[in-house]
Structure 1
Amino acid sequence: MKLAKFYDGVELHREEKMVYARLVAPHRVLSTCRSCSGGLHDDLQYIYNHQSCEPAGGHMNSRMHILAVDRPEEYKREVASSHNLPFQKCATLGTAANMNNAAICHERFQDLEVVTVCTGGVEGNAGRAGDPASYYEPQEESADERAEKGGGLEPGTINAMIFINRELLPGAMVTAVLTATEAKTAALQELEIPSRYSEGLATGTGTDQIAVASRLGGRAIAFAGKHSKVGELIGRTMHDAVLRTLSLQNGLTPAGQSSSLAHLERFRIDEQEMCQGIGKFLSKDDADLFKKSFSNIIKDPITVAAVAALVHLRDKFVWGILPKSCTAEIMVLYGAQISAAVSGKSQRINDYMQMLSSLQKSLDKQFFLEFVYQAFALGFSEKWADPKSEGCGGAGCGDEEAAITQ
């Protein structure tokens, strides 16, 4: 099915598990295609993004996925031939994402047009550049080693096809990829996507792919960085396409990420673990009530802001921006913000600071999470408390302090 046509130079089609672009006019193409069509070419006629496997359910070792990883030329030939495309003239991108969730973004400035088509998924394979890796290509390897290497890749890929109606010089094509990559990372940062391989925020996925096509002819553009108009359009369309496709594929939206758990997922916890961690510092009745109220509590904007602040400040310590000698003071101050947000009693923040000051403060993941859990528990234990029992030295103060230090 034909989806759209842009600047009389490119047609977009979707057929079964593939979205492909027919280059009606000659284009220069730079792509991450693993076959001989990868790299820089001026003679390609098609670029396609193909769903080679399912993203979950044990289908990652499907035949087409293994071909895509281990025998890219054979993979390209089979996919292209099944859709009556000349495989010698095709550049290939492969993914587990649903092609019906592809996002198309189009921007103009005077005579300049940029179109970005993006698919994406980040739930299994999001990573931060420099994270520990497992994929290695030695100079010599057996067939068994190649199969094991290909089968070890996790699902989750952001793929982009970018089309520009003006010619870009070869160097500008590379700059366009840089600009698009930064735009993708900006979108992931806005969504607070966690790395699945470290405690950092993701900058992409481990298998991201891209193809940039610029129409040949006329005065060529020499620069596609952030200071250029073509770079601006590439950045905007890539950023918006990533956000749209992740909304469709993974249900990830800015509003949906307004959750305390979304900011703590980087530490490999889920709802059950968070409830159990906080429940340890509550009475049984309060723990049961917290579990029932979990969704409302973690999505409260004031609580989300307090948790996000503390997690981000931890990053500042890890990155060396803040001196670690200030860890205790800052954790107590912002932990008390969490307690006050959960209880809804901001006037108690000084009391919460006093109670939290006796706890262990550390950037270590386990100790950090324990501190956050206790800050939640302290606030929740007072959420429905009788106001007459509040205040430093009041009847409830000693009980709460004992509860969070047990």
Structure 2
Amino acid sequence: MNNEHDAYISTMWPGLAISWESKSEYPHISMTLPERVVALSSAIHGGGYARLDRIVNRYVDRHYDCSEPLTDMHRFMESHGYRPESSAGLMTAVKLRYASIWEEGSSEASIVCCTTAGVGNAARAGQQRTTFAAYEPGTINIVLLVHGRMTAGCMVNAILTATEAKAAALADLDVKDHETGAMATGTTTDAIVLGVSGHDHYGVNHHYAGTATDLGGMIGRLVYGSVKESILSSQREERAL
């Protein structure tokens, strides 16, 4: 996605559109859903368990004042005509042209994954390192949209699988924790949104999304592929400068 007219229309989920709104004061990626989905997320706005029809990944620079992110995002939503009560908002310091969109479908579900990823603050979970109390814009933001049915437990399982796939992509790219030198498992500011349509078109209500399931396999491939592609895109540009 590299110009102000870019838009991605899903071939797997009719009516799902992803567009780059570059003329806004704050450029952002807007994901418009054809109907409200049940979502589970760590988004700064609309996070937790919610019903959403729009998901926004908003670019802010590294000097962004993070003192009131929730209030700021609410104002941003209103100023763009996005309903705050049914929208989730992520913030990223990664340039939006590095966004990677992957999708895949089967007889049991269809999935769309949109990721913006950078590794400037790569970190390894579980080790002693510097920590911060304040909010910071996300560095790896993953939006995972599933057209099908999933139980609440399956949604949590899906987020676990997505997190494992993200860590696998970082390992295969040999991304290291900049503070400790250990292999990174993520960055210090990652976020994820999982949205599920609940549509019964596929006739299956998924209870599991681990790596041994067909659903988990799709989730893993899409998250792995999109994280890896987004990071490689940013690294290629950095080497060219």
> Normalization by structure 2: what TM-score?
0.86
Alignment partner of 1:227 is 2:218:
no
For structure 1, the residue ranges without an aligned partner over 5 or more in a row are 54-59, 137-148, 257-406
Shift of 1:26: 2.7
CA contact (8 A) 1:28 1:167 kept: no
- Aligned partner (choices 160, 166, 172) of residue 190 of structure 1: 172
User: Identity, % of aligned pairs?
Assistant: 29
CA contact (8 A) 1:9 1:215 kept: no
Structure 2 CA distance for aligned equivalents of residues 46 and 208 of structure 1: 20
For structure 2, the residue ranges without an aligned partner over 5 or more in a row are none
Shift of 1:82: 3.3
Structure number with greater CO (CA < 8 Å, separation at least 6) is: 2
Shift of 1:3: 1.8
Question: Deviations along 1:366-400, whole A, 9 cap, x unmatched?
Answer: xxxxxxxxxxxxxxxxxxxxxxxxxxxxxxxxxxx
Q: Structure 1 residues 247 and 156, CA, compared in 2 at 3 Å: closer, same or farther?
A: farther
- Aligned partner (choices 224, 230, 235) of residue 245 of structure 1: 230
Q: Structure 1 residues 156 and 71, CA, compared in 2 at 3 Å: closer, same or farther?
A: closer
CA contact (8 A) 1:126 1:156 kept: no
- Aligned partner (choices 170, 178, 188) of residue 160 of structure 2: 178
Shift of 1:86: 1.1
Question: Residue 178 of structure 1 aligns to a residue in which SS?
Answer: helix
- Aligned partner (choices 4, 7, 21) of residue 9 of structure 2: 4
Shift of 1:212: 0.7
Question: Of Structure 1 and Structure 2, which has the larger fraction of its residues in helix?
Answer: 1
Shift of 1:101: 1.4
Aligned residues, how many? 224
Partner of 1:78: 75
Query: Whose radius of gyration is greater, 1 or 2?
Result: 1
Shift of 1:111: 4.3
Question: Residue 31 of structure 2 aligns to a residue in which SS?
Answer: strand
Partner of 1:130: 126
Shift of 1:44: 1.5
Shift of 1:79: 2.2
Structure 2 CA distance for aligned equivalents of residues 180 and 9 of structure 1: 24
Question: Residue 225 of structure 1 aligns to a residue in which SS?
Answer: coil
One-letter amino acid of the structure 2 residue matched with residue 61 of structure 1: H
Structure 1 CA distance for aligned equivalents of residues 185 and 125 of structure 2: 6
> Normalization by structure 1: what TM-score?
0.52
Question: Residue 90 of structure 2 aligns to a residue in which SS?
Answer: strand
Question: Residue 150 of structure 2 aligns to a residue in which SS?
Answer: coil
Structure 2 CA distance for aligned equivalents of residues 77 and 18 of structure 1: 14
CA contact (8 A) 1:121 1:156 kept: no
CA contact (8 A) 1:8 1:25 kept: no
CA contact (8 A) 1:26 1:216 kept: no
Alignment partner of 1:215 is 2:197:
yes
Structure 2 CA distance for aligned equivalents of residues 181 and 87 of structure 1: 27
Let me know the Cα RMSD of the aligned residues: 1.9
Question: Of Structure 1 and Structure 2, which has the larger fraction of its residues in strand?
Answer: 2
Alignment partner of 1:33 is 2:29:
no
Q: Write out aligned runs for 1:212-361 (5 A).
A: 212-218=194-200, 219-251=204-236
Structure 1 CA distance for aligned equivalents of residues 20 and 108 of structure 2: 27
